Amino acid sequence: MARLRVDFIACQGRGLCAEALPELITLDDWGFPIVSGQPVPPRLWPDARETVRSCPLLALRLERVNR
Amino acid sequence: MTRSAVSLGAAVRPSSAAAPGALPRLLPLCPPRPPRPASLDSHLSRYGPPPCSAPGQRDMRTLIAEVGRAGLTGRGGARFPTADKLAAVAAGRAPAVIGNGTEGEPASAKDKVLMARSPHLVLDGAVLAAQMVGASQAVIVAHRDALDILGQAAAERRRARLDQVRVTVRAAADRFVAGQASAVVRWIEHGVPAPTAMPPRLSDRGLGGRPTLVQNVETLAHLALIARYGARWFRSVGTPAEPGSMLVTVAGAVREPCVLEIAIGTPVGQVLDLAGGPAAPLHALLLGGYCGAWVDAAQAVGRPFSAAGLAGLGAEPGAGLIVALPAGACGLAETARVVRYLADESAGQCGPCRFGLPAVASELERVAGGRPADLGLLRKWLGQVDGRGGCAHPSGAVRLVRSALRTFGTELTQHAAGSCGGTAQVLPVPSPGPR
């Protein structure tokens, strides 16, 4: 189980993540990512990992959720 | 008087000779006029010697367990169990200890009053906390109003060779967000009073990369008394779920605005009476702090001032602030002024806080001024700001606004048609100064 988490101190609202992973990431009215706190569905894991890697500010993380 | 420290094994048993029976525990029993800090001698004669000799590790574990039995929680507002924090930091290597007396909350005075009246109790607690986690020194970051008194008290102890741990006192940054624990660490280390990202937790990596304990100064004062008189004594006031006493600041439309020490769970109306009672018919109360919640005064007076007692009203004791809003004031205008202040006080690090709070403040100012406003848009923005920051600042501001929309429904209707007629300004908002 894993979910996306934004480090808002690092995030500058470039918006690449929302373009790369619109299934899970939208933008607020000021251009900062809104991620769901829900677990990332397994079919989207590869895309989520790629999106995390492509954030220029390393502000997006895929966090393991312990159940 | 003997200043030899007692062994900790003895200290965690109640020493009935000195254990104070009633409140206040932390503040002077008979406040001298004009107010002045308790000297080291008067401190020691009231409470007995500090509970910090040269304790071994086993004693420390015993004492942390005693703090756990006491049920002490953080008095800065987050109510985290103190024993858990102590144990986490004690498990790390070369830990650091910070006493947090920043109190950036404009209407709150409880930490300033505690540090200014009972500086040695805070210092006892800082020394003890350092010994409990195995730190060689402690730093207290204090609001400038209490800085000199605390510094003089620390010097008095050094001259008396009282402590085996060196305590230094430093000036806090004068900003609202500066009191957040990670901001205190960053302030000490880099002179920047802004929160840092979590993880890592401070108890894993804080000051200089070391496991760091950050405790509010009131929490430290309680710690110093639990070590002297034990858990059973501590729990003799308060509720079983929320034991002990707490300091509260009562401000606004009461006859004698003041800082009080109450048993947790004391009915809100009784707390107002202890501050001389309402100075005018009351409309609402702001509870907790500027990131707290408005509640209807009539609904709140019968409720216990505790997390459990206030939960049904959507409020929390927070940092112990109670501000009484008189019927002649406008809750929406008060909230708009505070939210603008909170927006200005944002560290500006996180987008939703940096851009969202000013947007929320502007919309709220339109509401307060009786100008056309979009409440739907306001509520949408509240949702877009809530929970989306590196610290709790944006969520706290959202909480305040949502509580205002709940509590001041009548004014909302009146403002839509012009004005509610409220004029009084109650909540203090510092004017922006040079930063």
Q: CB contact, 8 Å: A30 with chain B? A: yes
Per-residue pLDDT for B8 more than 50?
A: no
Residue B188 to residue B98: CA distance in whole angstroms: 10
Residue B402 has pLDDT above 80, yes or no: yes
Instruction: State residue B7's pLDDT score.
Output: 34
Helix (H) or strand (E) holding B231: helix B217-234
Query: What type of residue is B132?
Result: M
For residue B435, is pLDDT > 60? no
pLDDT at B28: 92
| B342 phi/psi in degrees, rounded to 5 | -65, -35
Query: Does residue B216 have a pLDDT over 90?
Result: yes
β-bridge pairing A33-35 and B282-288: unpaired
Q: Do B390 and A32 touch (CB under 8 A)?
A: no
Write the CA distances from B134 to B12, B58, B206, B423, integer angstroms: 18, 12, 15, 54
Band of the pLDDT at B4, cuts 50, 70, 90? Answer: very low
Q: Which CATH superfamily, name and number, covers B8-234?
A: NADH-ubiquinone oxidoreductase 51kDa subunit (3.40.50.11540)
Is the Cβ–Cβ distance between B382 and B401 less than 8 Å?
yes
Contacts 24+ apart (CB under 8 A), B238-243: B238/B263, B238/B264, B238/B265, B238/B306, B239/B264, B239/B265, B239/B304, B239/B306, B239/B308, B241/B306, B241/B308, B242/B71, B242/B73, B242/B306, B242/B307, B242/B308, B243/B70, B243/B71, B243/B72
Confidence class for position B377, pLDDT limits 50, 70, 90: very high
Q: Which residue has the tokens 């302030």?
A: B187
Cβ <8 Å between A30 and B356:
yes
CB B43 within 8 A of CB B215: no
Phi-psi region of B348 (alpha: psi -120 to 50; beta: other; left: phi over 0): left
Q: What is the pLDDT of residue B58?
A: 64
How far CA B324 is from CA of B171, B288, B302, B314, in Å, comes to 30, 12, 15, 17
What is the distance between the alpha carbons of residues A38 and A46, in angstroms, rounded to a whole number?
17
A24-66 pLDDT, tens digit per residue, is 999 999 999 999 888 999 999 999 999 999 999 999 999 988 7
pLDDT in tens, B99-150: 999 999 999 999 999 999 999 999 999 999 999 999 999 999 999 999 999 9
Q: List chain A residues with CB under 8 Å of B195.
A: 9
Which residues in B lie closer than 8 A to residue A6 (C-beta atoms)? 388
Is-contact B375 B361, C-beta < 8 A? no
With residues binned 3-state (H G I as helix, E B as strand, rest as coil), the percentages for chain A, rounded to 5, are: 25, 25, 50
Measured between CB atoms, does A13 come within 8 Å of chain B?
yes
Chain A hits for B363, Cβ within 8 Å: none
Contact (Cβ atoms closer than 8 angstroms) between residue B158 and residue B120 = no
Q: Which residue of B has its CA nearest to A30?
A: B355
Which residues neighbour B372 within 8 Å (Cβ) at sequence distance 6 or greater?
B366
Nearest to A29 among B197, B349, B381 (CB): B381
Q: Which domain holds residue A60?
A: 2-64
Chain A closest-CA separation from residue B195 CA (Å): 9
Give the whole-number percent of chain B exceeding pLDDT 70: 93
Query: Cβ contacts of residue B80 below 8 Å, gap of 6+?
Result: B73, B74
* Exposed e or buried b per residue across A33-45, where buried means at least 16 C-beta atoms within 10 angstroms of its C-beta: bebeeeebeeeee
Q: Does the structural domain B331-416 have CATH classification 1.20.1440.230? A: yes
Domain B245-326 has CATH 3.40.1280.10: no
Q: Which amino acid is at B112?
A: K
A 10 A CB-CB count for B410 gives 11
Q: Considering only CB atoms, which chain B residues are within 8 Å of A31?
A: 351
Structure-block tokens of residue B83: 């024993």
Number of domains in chain A: 1
Q: Do residues B328 and B255 make contact, with C-beta atoms less than 8 angstroms apart?
A: no
Average pLDDT, integer, range B47-75: 85
Count of positions (residues) in chain A: 67
Q: Using one digit for the tens of pLDDT, what is the confidence trace for B306-353?
A: 999 999 999 999 999 999 999 989 999 999 999 999 999 999 999 999
Contact B322, B113 (CB under 8 A): no
Q: Is the peptide bond before B24 cis (omega within 30 degrees of 0)?
A: yes
* Nearest neighbour of A29 by CB, restricted to B195, B384, B389: B384
Could you tell me the two tokens for B399? 């909480």
The Cα B122–Cα B140 span in angstroms is 9
Whole-angstrom distance, CA of residue B143 vs CA of residue B21: 30
Q: pLDDT tens digits, residue range B179-207?
A: 999 999 999 999 999 999 888 999 999 99
CATH number at residue A37: 3.30.70.20
What is the mean pLDDT of the segment spanning B395-404? 98
Indicate the pairing of strand A60-64 with strand B96-101: unpaired
Mean pLDDT value across residues B43-58:
77
Q: Which residue of B has its CA nearest to A8?
A: B350
User: Do residue B350 and residue A34 have CB atoms under 8 angstroms apart?
Assistant: no
Read off the tokens for B207: 């000051």
The pLDDT confidence band at residue A14, using thresholds 50, 70 and 90, is: very high
Q: Average pLDDT of chain B?
A: 92
- Residue B55 in this model has a pLDDT that exceeds 70: no
Neighbouring CB atoms inside 10 A of A17's CB total 24
Cis peptide before B358 (omega within 30 of 0): no
Q: What are the residue boundaries of the structural domains of chain B, listed by start?
A: 8-234, 245-326, 331-416
For the residues B375-392, what does the mean pLDDT come to? Answer: 96
The identity of residue B214, as a single letter, is V
Residues 6+ positions from A17 with CB-CB distance below 8 Å: A25, A33, A51, A54, A55, A60
pLDDT in tens, B244-265: 999 999 999 999 999 999 999 9
% of residues, chain B, pLDDT over 90: 85
Which residue in chain B is spatially nearest to A13 when comparing CA positions? B351
Q: pLDDT value at position B431?
A: 79
Residue B224 has pLDDT above 80, yes or no: yes
Pull the structure tokens for residue B221.
Answer: 């004062």
Look at residue A64 in the predicted model and tell me its pLDDT.
87
3-state secondary structure of B296: strand
Question: 45-64 in A: which are within 8 Å (CB) of B?
Answer: none
The pLDDT value given to residue B424: 76
List Cα–Cα distances, B416 to A55, B279, B326, B368, B373, in angstroms: 44, 29, 22, 9, 8
Q: How high is the ipTM of this complex?
A: 0.93
